[in-house]
Structure 1
């Protein structure tokens, strides 16, 4: 892991299908193309390795139509 990157765990409410999961992935990758994103649709969580702050990631997901809260980071 790059020293500038961190692992974040986000609670993302409103994801109901694979289309939602893909929209969340695209929103994060648009913010940080180098991010690693793993969506757990069953639990409404997204694990992200990114150089961005958790608040920035939450803001992007909120603009995409989801309620996002940082669980870590």
Structure 2
């Protein structure tokens, strides 16, 4: 499980864009986004670096991340 602090998410379009970007890396990834906390939790077999890169390339800067 990864948790990312992501800047710039404010609406359902943002949720869909971030979810889509993660699922392009790992189609089976489970993505949970909390807009009020600006956090993205991802259950995926892909690497944290790949997930961070996908989210950033979608236009949402990753401020911090952790794996648990």
Q: Which runs of 5+ in 1 are unaligned?
A: 1-6
TM-score (norm 2): 0.90
Q: Which runs of 5+ in 2 are unaligned?
A: none
Instruction: Say if 2:34 is the partner of 1:40.
Output: yes
Aligned residues: 67
Structure 1's consecutive aligned runs of 4 or more residues displaced over 3 angstroms after TM superposition are none
TM-score (norm 1): 0.84
- CA offsets 1:20-65 (integer angstroms, 9 cap, x no match): 0110001101110010000101110000000112121111111100
CA RMSD of the aligned region, Å?
Answer: 1.1
